[in-house]
């Protein structure tokens, strides 16, 4: 017996409708492959399909100093190349966006013609939200990275030993910290920024301000409003996983080789007194770090959870190891004098021996290109991207041999030496 109103035409409609529904579900499943999905517990329990997310391509990274930020810049540049994105690069011969001057839009190459159409911004600058917003699209994701001020100050001391008056005039980092005001003179304010609360300064605030609770609280709140995410360099791998989720990127987008690190013999041991002194001398940075270290772990607990985090960190490390075995002659960074290809020599500064990498000799062209991008230091990569994006401008000079010729910059794949 047929149910009322169930004519052959209705049956055909029902079959067509079911087919469409099936196809829609199937296409959804294929589309989901290799993408990240935020699955909340309730969704899991109810077996509701997770909401897909789309990789964010408008991203601003505030590159703070001595915080593993060169490694992050390398990740950002590789991502920009992968998706053919426009990077807000420093104008003319500069390698930073006007630092230490407060950022203004015209520090960006091509701003007058390109306007508010840049996708990625990640070279050093002193943050100034209104001017950055003139360059970056309205839906831009803002993030930055902080490091424990104790190892950070030691790192700064060695790296800026010759440039910063307060460091130059002291014998070593412990002597400086025993009585910082003896070496840190207010008259040298500009040249001394790396010697006190450098992260506070990079975020655009006064690094010599009085540590007053109301003021610091207001600054922390403002940073929370301006940035979607603050990473912690001391938990770099965990940071990369959190970033990957926040941006809906693939794991391979956040695989990295550590860049801009020092040889162990150029690291000075801090005394316990010096460590305590840093917390007081750089109390603004100390507060900044404590606050965002706490929110970093809270964010992990509220989003991916510690268990998933650990699994993904393990994946990241396994993939990194695999890539190191593919790319590198030695399975680690080497001292500056041991870097064979001088085109891959990182910028050297102060009393630090900044390490770099040697690539394997017999890599095929495609692998070689991938490996070169993993190890190319910040200045060389900035100069290269600038030449690609602004072919009619004079190339930024690094003073080292070129890794890629001009032809290759126009994406012509030719055999290259490593």
Ligand X SMILES: Nc1ncnc2c1ncn2[C@@H]1O[C@H](COP(=O)(O)OS(=O)(=O)O)[C@@H](OP(=O)(O)O)[C@H]1O
Q: Which residues bind ligand X (CB under 6 A)?
A: 65-71, 151, 155, 233, 236, 258-262
Report the alpha-carbon distance of residue 151 to residue 355 in Å, rounded: 18
Please state the closest distance from residue 405 (CB atom) to ligand X, in A: 27
Whichever of 223 and 259 has its CB closer to ligand X, that residue is: 259
Of 161 and 291, the one with the shorter C-beta distance to ligand X is: 161
Closer residue to ligand X in complex, CB, 215/297: 297
Minimum distance, C-beta of residue 152 to ligand X, in the bound complex (Å): 8
Secondary element (H or E) of residue 45: helix 41-46
Spatial separation of the C-alpha atoms in residues 49 and 44, rounded to whole Å: 8
Nearer to ligand X, 216 or 345 (CB): 345
CB-nearer residue toward ligand X: 67 or 128? 67
d(CA 117, CA 411): 23
- The first and second tokens of residue 148, run together, are 């424990």
Neighbour tally for 393: CB within 10 Å: 15
**Each residue of 305-336: b (16+ CB within 10 Å) or e?**
eeeebeebbeebeeebeebbeebbeeeebbee
Q: How far is the CB of 355 from ligand X (least distance, A)?
A: 8
- Using DSSP, state whether 4 is helix, strand or coil: coil
Query: Closest separation between CB of residue 149 and ligand X, Å?
Result: 12
- Helix, strand or coil, per DSSP, at residue 402: coil
**Least distance (Å) between residue 20 CB and ligand X:** 48
**Cβ contact 125:103 at 8 Å:** yes
Query: Residue 145: beta bridge partners?
Result: 231
Contact 188, 207 (CB under 8 A): no
What distance, in Å, lies between the first and last C-alpha atoms of the chain?
Answer: 79
Shortest distance, position 373 Cβ to ligand X, whole Å: 16
Q: Measuring CA to CA, which residue among 108, 129, 282 is closest to residue 192?
A: 282
Are the beta carbons of 351 and 43 closer than 8 angstroms?
no
Instruction: Provide the total of helices (H) and of strands (E) in the chain, helices listed first.
Output: 18, 6
Provide the minimum distance between the beta carbon of 71 and ligand X in the complex, in angstroms, as a whole number.
4
Which of 358/382 has CB closer to ligand X? Answer: 382
Q: Which is nearer to ligand X, 111 or 292 (CB)?
A: 292
> In the complex with ligand X, which residue's Cβ is closer, 68 or 88?
68
Q: Shortest distance, CB of residue 203 to ligand X, whole angstroms? A: 14
Evaluate whether 285 touches 200 at the Cβ level (below 8 Å). Answer: yes
Pick 111 or 150: Cβ nearer ligand X: 150
Residue 47: CB minimum distance to ligand X, A: 38
């Amino acid at each position: 017996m047929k149910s009322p109103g169930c004519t052959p035409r209705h049956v055909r409609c029902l079959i067509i409708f079911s087919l469409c529904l099936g196809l829609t579900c199937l296409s959804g499943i294929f589309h989901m492959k290799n993408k990240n999905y935020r699955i909340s517990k309730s969704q899991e329990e109810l077996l509701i399909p997770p909401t897909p997310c789309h990789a964010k391509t408008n991203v601003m990274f505030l590159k703070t100093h001595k915080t593993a930020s060169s490694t992050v810049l390398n990740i950002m540049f590789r991502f920009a190349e992968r998706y053919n994105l426009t990077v807000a690069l420093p104008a003319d011969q500069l390698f930073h966006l006007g630092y230490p001057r407060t950022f203004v839009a015209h520090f960006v190459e091509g701003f007058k013609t390109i306007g508010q159409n840049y996708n990625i911004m990640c070279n050093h600058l002193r943050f100034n939200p209104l001017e950055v917003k003139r360059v970056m699209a309205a839906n831009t994701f803002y993030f930055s990275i902080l490091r424990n001020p104790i190892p950070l100050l030691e790192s700064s001391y060695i790296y800026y030993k010759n440039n910063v008056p307060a460091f130059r005039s002291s014998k070593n980092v412990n002597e400086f910290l025993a009585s910082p005001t003896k070496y840190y003179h207010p008259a040298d304010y500009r040249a001394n920024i790396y010697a006190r609360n450098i992260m506070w300064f990079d975020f655009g605030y006064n690094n010599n301000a009085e540590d007053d609770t109301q003021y610091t609280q207001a600054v922390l709140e403002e940073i929370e409003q301006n940035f979607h995410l603050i990473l912690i360099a001391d938990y770099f791998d965990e940071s990369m996983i959190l970033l990957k989720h926040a941006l809906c990127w693939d794991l391979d987008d956040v695989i990295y080789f550590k860049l801009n690190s020092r040889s162990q013999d150029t690291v000075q041991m801090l005394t316990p007194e010096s460590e305590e002194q840093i917390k007081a001398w750089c109390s603004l940075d100390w507060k900044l770090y404590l606050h965002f270290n706490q929110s970093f772990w809270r964010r992990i607990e509220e989003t991916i959870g510690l268990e998933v985090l650990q699994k993904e960190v393990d994946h990241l490390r396994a993939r990194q190891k695999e890539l190191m075995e593919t790319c590198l002659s030695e399975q680690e960074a080497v001292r500056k004098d041991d870097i064979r290809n001088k085109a891959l020599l990182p910028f050297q500064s102060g009393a630090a021996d900044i390490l770099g990498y040697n690539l394997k000799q017999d890599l095929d062209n495609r692998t070689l290109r991938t490996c070169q991008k993993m190890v190319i230091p910040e200045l060389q990569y900035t100069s290269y991207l600038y030449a690609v994006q602004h072919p009619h401008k004079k190339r930024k000079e690094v003073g080292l041999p070129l890794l890629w010729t001009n032809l290759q910059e126009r994406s012509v794949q030719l055999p290259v030496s490593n």
